[in-house]
């Protein structure tokens, strides 16, 4: 039985089939190197940050708060990503329909999917947890037991947060079987699940804020356990994990890791038990779509058959498919609003410490360094448009149906441009929400808002173009369900990386040159206007050739 589960998990993981074009088998290690390079800067930053904090905290004899914070925050990150992973892997794949006829027991299917999600989360841990705890281990001169405990914790930590995200999603999704409009309900349920996730974020921010409050720290300076407790209250299990690491040299370290493993095991059993009740009823009919089977009324008929221009019709087709395909809706559209939320929440919740929001707004309005702030807004738009993956998966999303684009009498250049346009419009939606909220919250001046909006649009156009170039170069067309076109697609990571680098370099440049608001704006318009023209040229000349070359 166990063997079955593991075999199935392997198949599900491989199903990603990163092959594009036939016979072009990119070696797997290349993929790992690329991923490693992509995340190395972040890992290095975290390592440096940890070693600096270690020195500082050591002065207060508080260094052991590091593993506690690291584990609690990782648990939270795992939980938050878990909402996406669980939605995608458990509900928005159609592989369940091919699994059901096979002789698997229900818990084997659930177990296999859970393993897949856990493995995804190991990647998260590699980036956010590994550097911190290795540095801590080295600096505190911990013994072998520390590293053994760490390995155990690394492998088991994602379980509890993932069970929690599953248990938020599964009861919600259970209702899809009951409602008529299944597709629509799936959207609503995912938005609710995200809302709960964001709610958690607000709460945990408060925890971290109060824990990081130095005055409070000093009060409890002597009571190490209590400090660890405040931070890890949220994910209680993380407390035992942290204590086992802190006290790895003592017997109580062993007691704590034992407790941690026991709690994790209990969560696994609870999960397997509940999911058998909740999962299959919710996932049945994932591919069902609402149908009414009735004749259209005359007015409905007239409305739908209105004639439009060729370009508009192609653009609307793109948008409709994104909105109506749950996997695309989540990854291309909803993800657009996650970054704004993540950025806005700390500002909304933490106004009691440091400067208040209106003070911050005044700072923007009066400060000579407005150019720098504009550069940040610009960089953010650039990044957001790359993270919504509309253009960097635009060709991949066509999958086995790419050939349709080849036989319709619409130039490839026009098709590609409409795909870019889709990315730009969706990007503007995401950035627009954020900018509107910020402008109102900070009471920004009209000039600043206008300049910000224009720069933002330029940034979005730029990364929409770079995104489609990556996807034209190497689209991922061999997928069997839609989420694979947008998840596990390297083009998304490439484009985010390029956007991060371009945005970073630009922000640093503006910081060091100290350009004013208008100077920065002019720089953006001229420099990126030029870049975009070049990209436009590339896409409409070479892009067309690439498109022609792709043979699904």
User: Minimum distance from CB of 184 to other proteins (Å)?
Assistant: 12
28 binds other proteins per the rule CB under 8 A: no
User: Minimum distance from CB of 293 to other proteins (Å)?
Assistant: 5
User: Minimum distance from CB of 543 to other proteins (Å)?
Assistant: 16
State the virtual CA torsion across 454, 458, 459, 463 in degrees, nearest 10. Answer: 150
400 binds other proteins per the rule CB under 8 A: yes
Q: For residue 175, give every residue at least 6 positions away whose Cβ sits within 8 Å of its Cβ, in sequence order, or none.
A: 185, 189, 282
291 binds other proteins per the rule CB under 8 A: yes
User: Which one-letter DSSP state was computed for residue 351?
Assistant: T
User: Minimum distance from CB of 410 to other proteins (Å)?
Assistant: 6
Q: Which is nearer to other proteins, 410 or 429 (CB)?
A: 410
User: Which one-letter DSSP state was computed for residue 21?
Assistant: S
301 binds other proteins per the rule CB under 8 A: yes
* Stretch of residues binding other proteins (CB under 8 A), selected from 74-82, 242-250, 289-297, 356-364: 289-297
Structure tokens at 421: 């346009």
98 binds other proteins per the rule CB under 8 A: no
Dist CA 373 CA 445 (whole Å): 13
User: Minimum distance from CB of 287 to other proteins (Å)?
Assistant: 7
Query: Are 486 and 84 within 8 A, CB to CB?
Result: no
Dist CA 472 CA 415 (whole Å): 12
* Stretch of residues binding other proteins (CB under 8 A), selected from 69-77, 492-500, 523-531, 544-552: 544-552
Dist CA 384 CA 338 (whole Å): 10
Dist CA 288 CA 213 (whole Å): 52
Of 377, 461, 386, 482, nearest to 94 (Cα)? 482
Q: Which is nearer to other proteins, 359 or 400 (CB)?
A: 400
Query: Are 176 and 281 within 8 A, CB to CB?
Result: no
180 binds other proteins per the rule CB under 8 A: no
The label of the residue with tokens 């166990």 reads 2
- Which of 55, 218, 223, 302 is the binder for other proteins (CB under 8 A)? 302
* Stretch of residues binding other proteins (CB under 8 A), selected from 339-347, 354-362, 399-407, 426-434: 399-407
- Which of 55, 213, 250, 288 is the binder for other proteins (CB under 8 A)? 288
- Which of 308, 353, 443, 541 is the binder for other proteins (CB under 8 A)? 308
Q: Which is nearer to other proteins, 142 or 396 (CB)?
A: 396
User: Minimum distance from CB of 173 to other proteins (Å)?
Assistant: 19
Dihedrals phi, psi of 201, to nearest 5 degrees: -60, -45
2 binds other proteins per the rule CB under 8 A: no
CA-angle at 124, arms to 123 and 126, nearest 5°:
60
306 binds other proteins per the rule CB under 8 A: yes
Of 127, 128, 131, nearest to 54 (Cα)? 131
User: Minimum distance from CB of 279 to other proteins (Å)?
Assistant: 22
Chain centre distance of CA 276: 28
- Which of 321, 433, 473, 525 is the binder for other proteins (CB under 8 A)? 321
User: Minimum distance from CB of 411 to other proteins (Å)?
Assistant: 6
* Stretch of residues binding other proteins (CB under 8 A), selected from 223-231, 262-270, 294-302, 358-366: 294-302
User: Which one-letter DSSP state was computed for residue 295?
Assistant: P
User: Minimum distance from CB of 294 to other proteins (Å)?
Assistant: 6
- Which of 33, 262, 296, 530 is the binder for other proteins (CB under 8 A)? 296
Query: Are 381 and 427 within 8 A, CB to CB?
Result: yes
Q: For residue 455, give every residue at least 6 positions away whose Cβ sits within 8 Å of its Cβ, in sequence order, or none.
A: 374, 377, 378, 381, 521, 524, 525
DSSP strand E in 280-438: where? none
- Contact positions toward other proteins, by CB under 8 A? 22-23, 287-296, 300-302, 304-310, 312-314, 317, 320-321, 324-325, 400-401, 403-404, 406-411, 548-549, 551
């Amino acid at each position: 039985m166990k063997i079955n589960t593991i075999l199935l998990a392997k198949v599900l993981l491989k199903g990603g089939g990163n092959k594009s074009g036939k016979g072009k088998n990119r070696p797997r290690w290349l993929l790992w190197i690329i991923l490693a390079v992509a995340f190395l800067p972040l890992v290095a930053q975290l390592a440096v940050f940890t070693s600096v904090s270690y020195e500082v905290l050591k002065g207060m004899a508080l260094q052991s708060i590091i593993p506690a914070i690291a584990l609690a925050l990782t648990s939270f990150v795992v939980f938050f990503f878990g909402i996406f992973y669980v939605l995608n892997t458990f509900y928005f794949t159609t592989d369940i329909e091919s699994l059901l006829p096979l002789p698997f027991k229900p818990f084997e299917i659930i177990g296999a999917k859970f393993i897949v999600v856990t493995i995804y989360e190991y990647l998260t841990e590699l980036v956010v947890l590994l550097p911190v705890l290795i540095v801590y281990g080295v600096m505190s001169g911990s013994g072998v037991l520390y590293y053994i405990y760490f390995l155990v914790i690394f492998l088991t930590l994602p379980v509890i947060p993932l069970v929690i995200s599953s248990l938020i999603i599964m009861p919600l999704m259970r209702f899809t079987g009951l409602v008529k409009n299944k597709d629509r309900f799936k959207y609503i349920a995912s938005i609710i699940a995200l809302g709960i996730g964001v709610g958690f974020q607000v709460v945990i921010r408060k925890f971290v804020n109060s824990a990081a409050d130095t005055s409070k720290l000093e009060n409890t300076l002597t009571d190490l356990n209590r400090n660890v407790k405040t931070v890890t209250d949220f994910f209680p299990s993380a407390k035992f994990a942290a204590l086992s690491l802190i006290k790895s040299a003592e017997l109580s370290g062993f007691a704590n890791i034992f407790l941690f493993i026991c709690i994790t095991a209990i969560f696994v059993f609870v999960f397997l038990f509940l999911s058998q009740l909740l999962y299959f009823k919710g996932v049945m009919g994932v591919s069902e779509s609402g149908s009414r089977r009735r004749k259209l009324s005359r007015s409905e008929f007239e409305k739908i058959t209105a004639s439009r221009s060729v370009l508009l019709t192609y653009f609307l087709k793109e948008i409709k498919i994104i909105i109506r395909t749950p996997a695309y809706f989540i990854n291309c559209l909803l993800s657009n609003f996650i970054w704004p939320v993540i950025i806005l929440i700390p500002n909304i919740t933490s106004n009691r410490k440091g400067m208040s929001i209106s003070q911050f707004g005044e700072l923007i309005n009066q400060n000579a360094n407005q150019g720098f702030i504009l550069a940040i807004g610009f960089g953010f738009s650039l990044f957001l448009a790359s993270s919504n993956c509309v253009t960097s998966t635009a060709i991949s999303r066509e999958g086995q149906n790419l050939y349709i684009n080849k036989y319709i009498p619409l130039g490839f250049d026009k098709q590609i441009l409409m795909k870019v346009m889709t990315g730009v419009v969706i990007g503007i939606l995401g950035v627009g929400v954020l900018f509107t909220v910020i402008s109102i919250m900070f009471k920004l001046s009209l000039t600043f808002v206008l300049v910000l909006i224009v720069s933002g649009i330029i940034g979005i156009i730029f990364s929409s173009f770079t995104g489609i170039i990556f996807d034209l170069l190497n689209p991922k067309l061999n997928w069997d369900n839609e989420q694979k076109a947008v998840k596990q697609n390297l083009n998304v990571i490439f484009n985010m990386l390029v956007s991060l680098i371009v945005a970073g370099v630009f922000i640093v440049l503006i910081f060091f040159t100290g350009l004013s608001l208008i100077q920065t704006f002019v720089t953006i318009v001229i420099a990126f206007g030029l870049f975009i023209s070049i990209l436009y040229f590339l896409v409409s000349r070479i892009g067309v050739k690439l498109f022609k070359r792709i043979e699904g």
